[in-house]
Amino acid sequence: MRVYNFSPGPSALPLPVLERAAAEMTDANGTGQSVMEMSHRSGDFRPIIEKAEALLRELMEIPGGYRVLFLQGGASLQFAMVPLNLAANAQPDAQPGAGKRALYVETGIWAKKAAAEAAKYAEVVTAASSKDRAYTYIPSAPAPAPDDAYYHITLNNTIVGTKWAGLPETGGVPLVADISSCILSEPLDVSKFGILYAGAQKNLGPAGTTVVIIREDLIGRAPEWVPAMLRYDVHAAEGSMYNTPPCYGIYIIGLVLQWLKDSGGVSAAARRNREKADLLYSYLDHSSFFRSPVEKPFRSLMNIPFVPVEEDPEKRGALEKRFVAEAAGEGLVNLAGHRLVGGMRASIYNAMPLEGVGALAAFMKKFEEKARS
């Protein structure tokens, strides 16, 4: 029996995708071989990566003048690649932070890590932070200066469960966003951004592949000393095949994108995601036992943390452990909150059906009733 997997990543994949991948494991597209065995330079693999890119462009309505790259290293490697390509000092022996100025909005742990990594190669300025209220909201942020290298945000914050309700005004300064946990969850105007990047393992495919969508005029800005593997121009020139790409991950991404297209596309996914999120938030807002720590205007559609109302830390911790264990016994798995914040968290990406969220809400009600008796 398959469980309802609420993991924040690697996360659940659509069952039809898994079934098709299983059927094609030893013979993909009639080639007599698995994608795992294919040469990335072969005529058998090229249609796979080309179809994945075409589907992504179609579903996200990526305009002309943007390149799509399939890379490795996760979003964490992009924390370095973005400043290395857009803001690094021309001299390799420059002091840390000696590059161009870049603005970062600190809205959670991953946003903070992105800024810390960038500070090795650029002059990083924290434009705004929501740390004062445990990252439970998105702060207002000032506009950048015209000569700033870029303006970085984390569009959806996986750990704390917040998302940007609107985009900051950046003028001519490129807006860069980590969209790992919200890509394809609702429509997004790609033309508003200079760079979008996403680790695939949350809402797009298996771990090991990173998608980068970059405006063409931002390619080729890296100083000569930046290693080839960390240069957007190198990967763009080679069509994401400067080295062996994550072939199987790209194949699965293509299957996920086809499933999403067959399911009505991004707008239909957004309607389903809103319905799922509303169901769970409605329960939390009417419960006197559980609560959402996130301020309402900034609640994520994808990652929903919740905690017991119990104020005693020891009792609250015991309740959380018991909840996670008993939920797993009911086939509702990976509900523990991030180790740095505790509590519980339900990640309800595109592949999570409404029935799974309904089963979680029903279990929460049952758990609450039993805890009170």
Structure tokens at 151: 């303006």
Of the candidates 110, 148, 164, 259, the residue annotated as catalytic is 110
Of the candidates 51, 148, 164, 178, the residue annotated as catalytic is 178
Structure tokens at 172: 């001519």
| CATH code for residues 16-262 | 3.40.640.10
d(CA 140, CA 237) in angstroms, rounded, equals: 38
Quick one: pLDDT at residue 114?
98
Q: Is 178 a catalytic residue?
A: yes
Tell me the per-residue pLDDT of 336-350, one tens digit each, with 9 for 90 and over.
998 888 899 999 999
Quick one: pLDDT at residue 231?
98
Mean pLDDT by 10 residues, the chain (373 residues): 95 97 94 93 94 98 98 97 94 80 97 97 96 96 94 97 95 97 98 98 96 98 96 97 96 98 98 98 95 96 95 89 96 93 95 98 94 76
Quick one: pLDDT at residue 100?
93
Q: Is 132 a catalytic residue?
A: no
Closest to 98 in 3D by CA, of 84, 109, 108: 84
Of the candidates 163, 202, 259, 276, the residue annotated as catalytic is 202
The total number of residues shown for the chain amounts to 373
d(CA 162, CA 28) in angstroms, rounded, equals: 39
Write out the DSSP string of 14-31: -HHHHHHHHHTSSSGGGS
Q: Mention every residue, 6+ apart, whose C-beta is less than 8 A from residue 54.
A: none
Quick one: pLDDT at residue 310?
84
Q: Is 164 a catalytic residue?
A: no
Burial 327-354 (b: 16+ CB within 10 A, else e): beeeebbbbbbbeebebbbbbbbbbbbe
Helices 247-262 and 46-60 cross at an angle (nearest 10°) of 40
Quick one: pLDDT at residue 94?
76
Hey, what long-range contacts does 286-292 have (CB within 8 A, 24 or more apart)? 287/364, 287/368, 289/368, 289/371, 289/372, 290/364, 290/368, 292/161
Write out the DSSP string of 98-150: -S-EEEEEE-SHHHHHHHHHHTTTSEEEEEEE-GGGTT-SPPP-PPPPTT-SE
Amino acid at 235: H
d(CA 289, CA 287) in angstroms, rounded, equals: 5
Closest to 302 in 3D by CA, of 113, 165, 163: 163
Closest to 178 in 3D by CA, of 75, 60, 33, 277: 75
Phi-psi domain of 94 (left: phi exceeds 0; alpha: psi -120 through 50; beta: other):
beta
Angle at 154 between CA 211 and CA 243, to 5 degrees: 25
Give the residue extent of every domain in the chain: 4-9+265-372, 16-262
Quick one: pLDDT at residue 307?
95
d(CA 331, CA 129) in angstroms, rounded, equals: 37
Query: Which residue has 């094609």 as its token pair?
Result: 24
Quick one: pLDDT at residue 265?
98
Tell me the per-residue pLDDT of 7-57, one tens digit each, with 9 for 90 and over.
999 999 999 999 999 999 999 999 999 999 999 999 999 999 999 999 999
| CATH code for residues 4-9+265-372 | 3.90.1150.10
This prediction has a pTM of 0.96
